[in-house]
Amino acid sequence: DADVTQTPRNRITKTGKRIMLECSQTKGHDRMYWYRQDPGLGLRLIYYSFDVKDINKGEISDGYSVSRQAQAKFSLSLESAIPNQTALYFCATSDSGLFYKETQYFGPGTRLLVL
């Protein structure tokens, strides 16, 4: 779905480095999410935001932080990357409007390798 974009698509970094993954959406949705995907573990929620002033921890938020710069932008930061943060990261959005549907729309993912 081209309406949800993530940058970068691939990133290699070293242990201890700070990195930021960015997500932008043109769907006009107010809800945004960050997940990580690891083989055999499914999609695990890191952080979610229901509007610009609302930030909530998910099930695996340790070692991560987020920033909701605008309704359309939601960034994920790894303050000091470690090898077990190597994973595929997905951003997702959903709507909460009048015709509320819970469907989440995912970005293309960012593949992160921490050496």
Q: Which residues bind another protein (CB under 8 A)?
A: 1, 31, 35, 40-45, 48, 50, 58-59, 90, 94, 96, 102-104, 106-109
Smaller CB distance to another protein: residue 81 or 112?
A: 112
Smaller CB distance to another protein: residue 6 or 81?
A: 6
* Nearest in space to 80 (alpha carbons), one of 29, 10, 13: 13
For residues 92 and 47, give the distance between their C-alpha atoms in angstroms, rounded to a whole number. 11
Q: Which DSSP letter does residue 72 get?
A: T
Smaller CB distance to another protein: residue 91 or 114?
A: 91
40-61 burial by CB neighbour count: b if 16+ within 10 A, else e?
eeeeebbbbbeeeeebeebebb
Nearest distance from residue 18's CB to another protein, in Å? 26
Smaller CB distance to another protein: residue 107 or 114?
A: 107
For residues 86 and 102, give the distance between their C-alpha atoms in angstroms, rounded to a whole number. 29
Nearest distance from residue 40's CB to another protein, in Å? 6
Nearest distance from residue 13's CB to another protein, in Å? 22
